[in-house]
Amino acid sequence: MSRIEFDRVSHDFGAEPIVDGVSLSLTEHRVGIVGANGSGKSTLARMINGLVTPKSGRVEVDGLDVARRGREVRRRVGFVFTNADNQIVMPTVREDVAFTLRRHKLPAEDAAARVEATLERFGLTALADRPAHRLSGGQKQLLALASVLVADPALVVADEPTTLLDARNARLVAEHFAALEQQLVVVSHQLELLDDFDRVIVMESGRVVADDEPLPALAAYRALIG
Ligand SMILES: Nc1ncnc2c1ncn2[C@@H]1O[C@H](COP(=O)(O)OP(=O)(O)OP(=O)(O)O)[C@@H](O)[C@H]1O
């Protein structure tokens, strides 16, 4: 497993603090982050791969300071966004999965084999030559996941990956998450997605207000939001 360290991390976008003195050491296989709208979850998640650099404190992934060694960190961290449209960059499904590997300097045959195996794993083989932007919402989210996982990142961070999906597709994506061997950090409002996680962090106004196994942490969150 990887190790994510937040050491007295704070951030704001000008006015009030959005992340306020957070220290966490995340080593569990699957970690969920919950909290009300605007509580700072996405900002915290985005710090793990340097999409947001904290104004103070330090974030490390496997001992690498994200602010200084962003490129190495981003090779280790796969980030899945809420809206797969923001992540799909190539015209077809196959090209989009292959695009992730462009900087990996793999022999062309190895890269192609990896792409095909990943398409197969996510049930996308039959759609490989289709225009990526015309897939259904669920298929797009699977493509986004495939395009991240083809590079075999050490850890995966996902920001509300099932929010835009119907129940069936959300379940399908959740099943793929459950099967991941990598460390996984998921921000979600869909609390049942986190039921069998190893640890759940509850955020409120930029602070960690509960940090426990899912049952007690989610109970604390439900009590918090009434
Ligand atoms: N780039 C930005 N510039 C200005 N303000 C921002 C930026 N990103 C986030 N914010 C603000 O920071 C606050 C926290 O946002 P964040 O997305 O981290 O919360 P969240 O807990 O993930 O919320 P949600 O559940 O609604 O996604 C919000 O008020 C948001 O408007």
Residue for token digits 């704001």? 12
Q: How many CA atoms lie within 13 A of 119 on its CB side?
A: 21
Q: How many CB atoms lie within 10 A of CB 226?
A: 4
Ligand 1 atom with least separation from CA of 160: 27
The closest-lying atom of ligand 1 relative to the alpha carbon of residue 42 is 22
Topology (CATH level 3) of domain 4-225: Rossmann fold (3.40.50)
Which ipTM value was assigned to this complex? Answer: 0.95
Q: Tell me which residue has its CA closest to atom 2 in ligand 1.
A: 13
* Distance between Cα 42 and ligand 1 center (Å): 7
For residue range 49-95, what is the model confidence (pLDDT) as tens digits? 999 999 999 999 999 999 999 999 999 999 999 899 988 999 999 99
Distance between Cα 43 and ligand 1 center (Å): 6
Domain locations in the chain as residue ranges = 4-225
Q: Whose CA is nearest to atom 31 of ligand 1?
A: 38
Atom 16, ligand 1: residue with shortest CA distance: 40
Closest-CA residue to 141 (of 80, 191, 78, 96): 80
Whole-prediction pTM value?
A: 0.94
